[in-house]
Amino acid sequence: MTKKKAVVLGATGMMGQKFVQLLANHPWLEVSAVAASDRSVGKSYAASTGGQMVRHLPDGLGELQVVEAAPRAIADPDIVFSALPTEVAGPIEEDFAKAGFPVFSNASSHRMDHDVPLLNPEVNAEHASLVEEQKRRTKWDGFIVANPNCTTAILSLSLKPLHDRFGLETVIVSTMQAISGAGYPGVASLDILENVIPFIRNEEEKVERETNKILGTTAKPATVTVSASCQRVPTIHGHIEAVFAKTRHPASPEEVAKSMSEFQSTPQKMKLPSAPPHPIIVRKEEDRPQTRLDVDEGNGMTVSVGRLRRDSALNGIKYIVLGHNLVRGGAGCSILNAELLMAQKYIQ
Amino acid sequence: MTKKKAVVLGATGMMGQKFVQLLANHPWLEVSAVAASDRSVGKSYAASTGGQMVRHLPDGLGELQVVEAAPRAIADPDIVFSALPTEVAGPIEEDFAKAGFPVFSNASSHRMDHDVPLLNPEVNAEHASLVEEQKRRTKWDGFIVANPNCTTAILSLSLKPLHDRFGLETVIVSTMQAISGAGYPGVASLDILENVIPFIRNEEEKVERETNKILGTTAKPATVTVSASCQRVPTIHGHIEAVFAKTRHPASPEEVAKSMSEFQSTPQKMKLPSAPPHPIIVRKEEDRPQTRLDVDEGNGMTVSVGRLRRDSALNGIKYIVLGHNLVRGGAGCSILNAELLMAQKYIQ
Amino acid sequence: MTKKKAVVLGATGMMGQKFVQLLANHPWLEVSAVAASDRSVGKSYAASTGGQMVRHLPDGLGELQVVEAAPRAIADPDIVFSALPTEVAGPIEEDFAKAGFPVFSNASSHRMDHDVPLLNPEVNAEHASLVEEQKRRTKWDGFIVANPNCTTAILSLSLKPLHDRFGLETVIVSTMQAISGAGYPGVASLDILENVIPFIRNEEEKVERETNKILGTTAKPATVTVSASCQRVPTIHGHIEAVFAKTRHPASPEEVAKSMSEFQSTPQKMKLPSAPPHPIIVRKEEDRPQTRLDVDEGNGMTVSVGRLRRDSALNGIKYIVLGHNLVRGGAGCSILNAELLMAQKYIQ
Amino acid sequence: MTKKKAVVLGATGMMGQKFVQLLANHPWLEVSAVAASDRSVGKSYAASTGGQMVRHLPDGLGELQVVEAAPRAIADPDIVFSALPTEVAGPIEEDFAKAGFPVFSNASSHRMDHDVPLLNPEVNAEHASLVEEQKRRTKWDGFIVANPNCTTAILSLSLKPLHDRFGLETVIVSTMQAISGAGYPGVASLDILENVIPFIRNEEEKVERETNKILGTTAKPATVTVSASCQRVPTIHGHIEAVFAKTRHPASPEEVAKSMSEFQSTPQKMKLPSAPPHPIIVRKEEDRPQTRLDVDEGNGMTVSVGRLRRDSALNGIKYIVLGHNLVRGGAGCSILNAELLMAQKYIQ
């Protein structure tokens, strides 16, 4: 099979670099262009990203010349990945969709549009079909598919088997999020070294809203009451979340552990290249998962659950979930979305 | 007034050093002896503590010779503070109480004994009277007063005005606790640098149980449902907690902020030396309190609350609270307890 | 004595805030105005600095309205402190000197001008007289006095007794510098968390050059060969430096320790308010000084030396020196400079 | 080729786990037994190491039962790797050598014995022949080969091309060492978080002594004057060192860069499995190498050099070198030593 050509918009940022890194050696896709803001256009990709963020650029990609993030600047890609900052992402992504390209966006601009699939493939692969509705409405030749906010991607994956099996009613989540979630330069070291910052702008609202869109049907969102408190801690990669959940039907920790451990979904069945064999791993140790030790589980696509126990406050269960904010919570999820739409023939 | 003589048991550990530091220049109390384990007995206090933990020992205290933690080894103190590790604290503290001394203990050994006051003075000063019941039962000349677990001390102080004014029903708390809470050497750097450890042994149980004893009457504990998830993060001092609370009577964030800001209690009215003018400070900034910036508020005796907002899951409110785990959450609270019992004439 | 009115230029940055903090409650000086870039002009000082950097603004200062950093904008101060970034400091500081004000600058712009005193008062108080030469040359009514680069201020203070007593020939220094040295936002957390960055722009050149100006006479610089390697490490405040030094006359570690411990100079003799009783403390412990434990020695104005031992490579001695980069290495040194020139009647 | 059976002594510690990890999937060697202290004997290897230190144990090795570190407890290995702590390593390693086994030791016990090769294979492969002299003296059937102290292994590799080409005379080195160098639990988090500790017991003496043994001939040590200052910083893996070096023949930074970049040695020529293609990489960026970004270069077997520039103090050059303390500075070097002795037929 000839690899499809992928362009990465916003390729010089933290998330953009993670897209490029994950696409290197991808069996179905290859990076044909990297686009970024005017500041970088015309420079080599290596010179634009600097040496700080990624250890080694994949072979050859460092020599790519950075182009403008506009359809006219890029010779016919098959797929567009957008790691653009939310402030500028919306119209640029629309331009690419209008120009006929499938756009997989990590930005929040279009996530809540009713006919833009907000896809976390193990959770709601069936939402992919919304792109047809979207194309009808917009008359575009292309379309936009969004992946969830990092915290939501990790949380919603862990909630899915609970929701399916026991019926989720209420979720309280308190997060401890890594600095890479804020991009580069992002969080100043003076702000976070030996500190906790109990505020991440718009994050709690995103978690509360996106979780319901993901767990719902294409017709309407779920009605789980979600309440989040989001905090930044001095870790590099990996968001770890303390979750308290109430289900309609009683769920013992053992039953929950079983339903999570056994959970597999469309990406596993379709054997998509980026799908981890087990999207959720349940750890038995009393003190795991831990951010630094477990963040790379399943090449960053698996979320690790631990400390499953009864919760007295909601009369439900509580647990810890950890995932890689740049992989499952960003570029990895977006690439898995593209694989899903390729496998489902939404992309020819 | 002649200062009363205080002995610190377990004086060489992290918490013991904090007791000594806080007692230096105390208007009512002076350290007359420092006691520790056999390993340190006979050495100077300065030599026993090493230079790692406290910057500078208060004048003269470094020359004290460490004695055995037993009544026979210590010439008639007026007050005994115990920073002993829980594994050994129980019987030693009883020995001192039997020998006629008032013992203020930071250990968990006797906290849940029904006639041992578990005192956080702004919350339940009236529990002090339990020492009379305790003396009747034990026939001891002395008595034991406990201060709460660090996380509970901070949490329960923030909950008190809520409970009084609106009637607490349910509390969910997710903590991010500093390394000094585990003592010295405590947490290995390889375990916590750039990491979160989502487990602290027995901590959740303590929070859930002690909170109700503190918020209850001398006759019986409160019946608030408390559910905790306790995590360790790479900060040095200060436990910061994300709290979700449901009250019987509706409480808007504004009402809660007002009741917390205005809250004053017995220690403030009695003008006890260690009582902060405002035991709770409510911050207006969107991103405060922060561990490193706010931990020393009120010399470590004030807890800082922020991000007061509505919570949809419990249909209540949610907020962040931060306190100094070694001061309000330990030695400072214990010294305030002693001040209270002195002012109430339980100690002559 | 009526306090003299001081304005702080660049007051909203990291170093500017340290100036304001140190000037609060100063016996001779009071902050009459805070100036900063256009972005802050017209806002209150509290609103301009944000809550991130300083814990609590000194009383009343938070309400000051930030003004433009230009003589016309500021009603007759007695003294001007400049914490302006080097890129803009030069001409603004000259404007203030022209307008008749004594300017104490932390910027590097004028440090190497031959008639601008580069003052570290315990080391070269006699250089203060250069302001007369400067006024003759410039025809200004005011003048500029510079304090050294942070690393140099700490290093040169530790070298002074060595130089006086044994004659310095060669110095090799390898530094481990805190993040606050780079200002705010300064170093990105992604760059420094769990990392060492072995490069700080222009720092090595400054150390090599400024050290000789400071150790020299008003007529000519010293001829010590200085070679530096400057590294950034994940600490918040405090630069710690490994020093290897060769002297003309043999110096045993004991002799060096004695000459450092006993060292006192003009600021101590004149009892200047910011002068620490002992500008150098020599620690005996095998593992001190340590950045976090010792940075605040002497309110940040004392440097701590330790591990004095023979060095085989230069056939000299080696030691560790630590100082507070924002105090001795910045605002504190600059304020001590102003005190010196006040005491010496260069400022009426 | 049948793989040789390797036993790892001290397998449960930090360095022991690194041996096991590096030997998994080794083309010539396989772990046949893991030995440790009494505390672990009889337990499974997985249970003994806990989950903290290594992310995932190589397949099957977790089920190995830990045995006593004594020849009688281990069924005929071909090779013995010792990661024992120095306090106990000496006699145990001798017992294994007496019993006929080739012992590759990471402990310092025998490093300075004149007929024990202190091997850093790219630097002094020819020292391997000392094992014959050792066997004559000891009458043992086996022998002991030591690898250098971590800091020395990294330093001496970077010095080798300088020494060969320009003749080393003097070296000053100031180190910033990671916490994993102190083993587990090792450095307490309270000691190192947001701190620098300027002391590592015996480290400076080891660097000064071992460097000369390695750079010398089998007959006598080199006569380079080495002076070290060793510091601990809050990084996890990777020792980074600021080096100042004087050579007999003038060496420009460009010449040094070339000699380092082109440097290859016996392990590269013999294509030993653990030999990195380039044992030294010279980076051109002004701010590299950095600990976190570059520590894994060449799977941890390559040292990264940067910031090559002239040094005025020694009239030589200065540079930064970084290496992985557990790989090049420990287990990786030891395994490369074993490969060398296998290829040279000292092990049949």
Chain A nearest-CA residue for C52: A191
| Confidence class for position B283, pLDDT limits 50, 70, 90 | very high
Number of domains in chain D: 2
Residues A87, A216, single domain; the answer is no
- Closest by Cα among A222, A210, A219 to A118: A210
Beta strands in chain C (DSSP E): 4-9, 29-36, 67-68, 79-82, 102-105, 143-146, 168-177, 225-232, 239-247, 280-282, 303-311, 316-323
Q: How far is D292 from chain A (nearest CA, A)?
A: 9
- With beta carbons under 8 A apart, name residues in chain D contacting A293: 51-52, 55
CATH number at residue C221: 3.30.360.10
Options A163, A239, A278, A324, the catalytic residue: A239
Q: Give the residue carrying structure tokens 């100077």.
A: B44
Residue from the list C197, C242, C289 with its beta carbon closest to the beta carbon of D174: C242
- With beta carbons under 8 A apart, name residues in chain C contacting D240: 196, 198, 231
Measured CA to CA, the distance from residue D137 to residue A179 in angstroms comes to: 58
For residue A219, give every residue at least 6 positions away whose Cβ sits within 8 Å of its Cβ, in sequence order, or none.
Answer: none
- B292 in a domain, yes or no? yes
Residues D236, D126, single domain; the answer is no
Query: Is residue C101 classed as helix, strand or coil in its secondary structure?
Result: coil
- Closest by Cα among A118, A117, A111, A115 to A138: A115
Interface mutation vs chain C, best among B53, B54, B190, B194, most C CBs within 10 Å: B194
List the subunits that have 3+ CB pairs under 8 angstroms with B: A, C, D
Measured CA to CA, the distance from residue B154 to residue B167 in angstroms comes to: 19
Confidence check: pLDDT of D138 > 70: yes
Determine, for residues C187 and A188 on separate chains, whether the beta-carbon distance falls below 8 Å: yes
Determine, for residues C307 and D199 on separate chains, whether the beta-carbon distance falls below 8 Å: yes
* Structural domain for B188, as ranges: 150-323
Residues D169, D135, single domain; the answer is no
Measured CA to CA, the distance from residue B244 to residue B308 in angstroms comes to: 10
Q: What is the pLDDT of residue D10?
A: 96
Residues A235, A100, single domain; the answer is no
Q: What is the pLDDT of residue B49?
A: 83
* Segment C147-166, tens digit of pLDDT: 999 999 999 999 999 999 99
Residue from the list D52, D193, D293 with its beta carbon closest to the beta carbon of A55: D293
- Closest by Cα among C97, C199, C212, C211 to C144: C97
Determine, for residues A285 and D52 on separate chains, whether the beta-carbon distance falls below 8 Å: no
Q: How far is D232 from chain C (nearest CA, A)?
A: 10
In the beta sheet, which residues pair with residue A79? A6
Q: What is the pLDDT of residue D53?
A: 56
Measured CA to CA, the distance from residue D237 to residue D290 in angstroms comes to: 11
Q: Give the residue carrying structure tokens 């992989």.
A: A327
Residues D175, D312, single domain; the answer is yes
- Closest by Cα among B194, B297, B161 to B238: B297
Tokens of C244: 């290897």
Mean pLDDT of B190-203: 97
- D348 in a domain, yes or no? no
Question: Which burial class, exposed, middle or buried, applies to C315 when counting CB atoms under 10 A from its CB (0-12, 13-18, 19+)?
Answer: middle
The contact set of B with A (CB < 8 A) is: 170-172, 174, 176, 193-199, 208, 225-227, 229, 231, 233-236, 240, 242, 244, 286-293, 306-307, 311-314, 318, 320
Let me know the angle formed at the C-alpha of A86 by A81 and A89, rounded to the nearest 5 degrees.
Answer: 50
Confidence check: pLDDT of B339 > 70: yes
First to last CA, chain A: 12
Half-sphere CA count of A145, side-chain side, radius 13 A: 34
Element (H, E) at A282: strand A280-282
In the beta sheet, which residues pair with residue B307? none
State the alpha helices, DSSP H only, in chain B: 14-23, 45-49, 86-98, 121-124, 130-138, 150-166, 189-192, 203-215, 253-261, 266-269, 291-294, 331-343
Confidence check: pLDDT of B47 > 70: yes
Residues D161, D56, single domain; the answer is no
- With beta carbons under 8 A apart, name residues in chain C contacting D306: 198
* Segment C182-241, tens digit of pLDDT: 999 999 999 999 999 999 999 999 999 999 999 999 999 999 999 999 999 999 999 999
Query: If you average pLDDT over every residue of chain C, what do you get?
Result: 95
Mean pLDDT of C74-89: 93
Neighbours of C185 (CB within 10 A): 16
Instruction: Give the DSSP per-residue string, D155-221.
Output: HHHHHHHHHHHH-EEEEEEEEEE-GGGG-SS-SBHHHHTT--B---TTHHHHHHHHHHHHHS-SSS-
- With beta carbons under 8 A apart, name residues in chain C contacting A236: 190, 193-194
- With beta carbons under 8 A apart, name residues in chain A contacting B158: none
Mean pLDDT of B212-237: 98
* Segment D27-79, tens digit of pLDDT: 999 999 999 998 899 999 988 886 565 556 777 888 899 999 999 998 889 99
Which amino acid would we find at residue D288? Answer: R
In the sheet where C79-82 sits, what is the strand order? C67-68, C29-36, C4-9, C79-82, C102-105, C143-146
- Kindly give the interhelix angle for B203-215 and B150-166, rounded to the nearest 10 degrees: 40
Residue A180 DSSP one-character state: G
3-state helix, strand, coil in chain A (%, to 5): 35, 25, 40
Residues B15, B123, single domain; the answer is yes
Identify whether A185 is preceded by a cis peptide bond (ω within 30 of 0).
yes
Query: Is residue A212 classed as helix, strand or coil in its secondary structure?
Result: helix
Q: How far is A236 from chain B (nearest CA, A)?
A: 7
| Confidence class for position B111, pLDDT limits 50, 70, 90 | very high
Identify whether B289 is preceded by a cis peptide bond (ω within 30 of 0).
yes
Measured CA to CA, the distance from residue A256 to residue A321 in angstroms comes to: 13
Determine, for residues D190 and B53 on separate chains, whether the beta-carbon distance falls below 8 Å: yes
- C348 in a domain, yes or no? no
Query: If you average pLDDT over every residue of chain D, what do you get?
Result: 95
Residues C158, C16, single domain; the answer is no
Is B150 among the catalytic positions?
A: yes
Options B150, B163, B230, B278, the catalytic residue: B150
In the sheet where A316-323 sits, what is the strand order? A225-232, A168-177, A239-247, A316-323, A303-311, A280-282
| Confidence class for position C53, pLDDT limits 50, 70, 90 | low
- ipTM of the shown complex: 0.96
Determine, for residues D187 and B192 on separate chains, whether the beta-carbon distance falls below 8 Å: no
Q: What is the pLDDT of residue D78?
A: 96
Q: What is the pLDDT of residue A53?
A: 56
- C123 in a domain, yes or no? yes
For residue C5, give every residue at least 6 positions away whose Cβ sits within 8 Å of its Cβ, in sequence order, or none.
Answer: C29, C30, C32, C33, C76, C77, C78, C79
Are D150 and D178 in contact by the 8 Å Cβ rule? The answer is: no
Could you tell me the CA-to-CA distances from C120 to C104, C172, C279, D131 in Å, in that order? 12, 20, 11, 59
- B215 in a domain, yes or no? yes
Question: How many interface pairs between C and D have CB atoms less than 8 angstroms apart?
Answer: 131
Chain D nearest-CA residue for B188: D188
Could you tell me the CA-to-CA distances from D226 to C256, C313, D15, D275, D300 in Å, in that order? 22, 6, 27, 27, 25
Determine, for residues C288 and B51 on separate chains, whether the beta-carbon distance falls below 8 Å: yes
Beta strands in B159-300 (DSSP E): 168-177, 225-232, 239-247, 280-282
Interface mutation vs chain D, best among C151, C172, C189, C319, most D CBs within 10 Å: C172
Q: What is the pLDDT of residue B139?
A: 97
Determine, for residues A244 and B172 on separate chains, whether the beta-carbon distance falls below 8 Å: yes
Q: Could you give the percent of chain D with pLDDT greater than 70?
A: 98
The contact set of C with B (CB < 8 A) is: 51-52, 55, 193-194, 285, 287-288, 293-294, 296
For residue C70, give every residue at least 6 positions away whose Cβ sits within 8 Å of its Cβ, in sequence order, or none.
Answer: C35, C92, C95
Q: Could you give the percent of chain D with pLDDT greater than 90?
A: 92
Chain B nearest-CA residue for C283: B51
- B348 in a domain, yes or no? no
What is the full per-residue pLDDT of chain A (348 aa) written as tens digits? Answer: 799 999 999 999 999 999 999 999 899 999 999 999 988 999 999 888 865 655 567 778 888 999 999 999 988 899 999 999 999 999 999 999 999 999 999 999 999 999 999 999 999 999 999 999 999 999 999 999 999 999 999 999 999 999 999 999 999 999 999 999 999 999 999 999 999 999 999 999 999 999 999 999 999 999 999 999 999 999 999 999 999 999 999 999 999 999 999 999 999 999 999 999 999 999 999 999 999 999 999 999 999 999 999 999 999 999 999 999 999 999 999 999 999 999 999 998
- With beta carbons under 8 A apart, name residues in chain D contacting C195: 235, 290-293
- With beta carbons under 8 A apart, name residues in chain C contacting A52: 188, 190-191
Chain C nearest-CA residue for D173: C174
Chain A nearest-CA residue for B200: A287
* Ramachandran assignment for A183, one of left (phi > 0), alpha (psi -120 to 50 degrees), beta (any other): left
Is A150 among the catalytic positions?
A: yes
Residues B316, B337, single domain; the answer is no
CATH number at residue B13: 3.40.50.720
Where is average pLDDT lowest: A207-211, B197-201, D52-56, D272-276?
Answer: D52-56
Residue from the list C227, C244, C320 with its beta carbon closest to the beta carbon of D198: C320
- D127 in a domain, yes or no? yes
- With beta carbons under 8 A apart, name residues in chain A contacting D193: 194
* Segment C265-285, tens digit of pLDDT: 999 999 999 999 999 999 999
* Segment D314-339, tens digit of pLDDT: 999 999 999 999 999 999 999 999 99
For residue A127, give every residue at least 6 positions away whose Cβ sits within 8 Å of its Cβ, in sequence order, or none.
Answer: A117, A118, A119, A214, A218
List the subunits that have 3+ CB pairs under 8 angstroms with A: B, C, D
Mean pLDDT of C51-66: 74
Half-sphere CA count of C35, side-chain side, radius 13 A: 24
Are C9 and C324 in contact by the 8 Å Cβ rule? The answer is: no
Residues C200, C68, single domain; the answer is no
Query: If you average pLDDT over every residue of chain B, what do you get?
Result: 95
Identify whether C289 is preceded by a cis peptide bond (ω within 30 of 0).
yes
Q: How far is B17 from chain A (nearest CA, A)?
A: 22
Residue from the list A244, A290, A312 with its beta carbon closest to the beta carbon of B196: A290
Element (H, E) at B219: none
Q: What is the pLDDT of residue A51?
A: 58
- With beta carbons under 8 A apart, name residues in chain D contacting C196: 176, 233, 235, 240, 290-291
Interface mutation vs chain B, best among A233, A247, A283, A294, most B CBs within 10 Å: A233
The contact set of C with D (CB < 8 A) is: 170-172, 174, 176, 193-199, 208, 225-227, 229, 231, 233-236, 240, 242, 244, 286-293, 306-307, 311-314, 318, 320
Confidence check: pLDDT of B53 > 60: no
Residues C297, C336, single domain; the answer is no
- Closest by Cα among D102, D109, D153 to D128: D102
Residues C338, C267, single domain; the answer is no
- A348 in a domain, yes or no? no
In the sheet where D239-247 sits, what is the strand order? D225-232, D168-177, D239-247, D316-323, D303-311, D280-282
Determine, for residues C55 and B288 on separate chains, whether the beta-carbon distance falls below 8 Å: no
- With beta carbons under 8 A apart, name residues in chain D contacting B237: none
Residue from the list C180, C188, C194 with its beta carbon closest to the beta carbon of A185: C188
- With beta carbons under 8 A apart, name residues in chain A contacting C194: 236
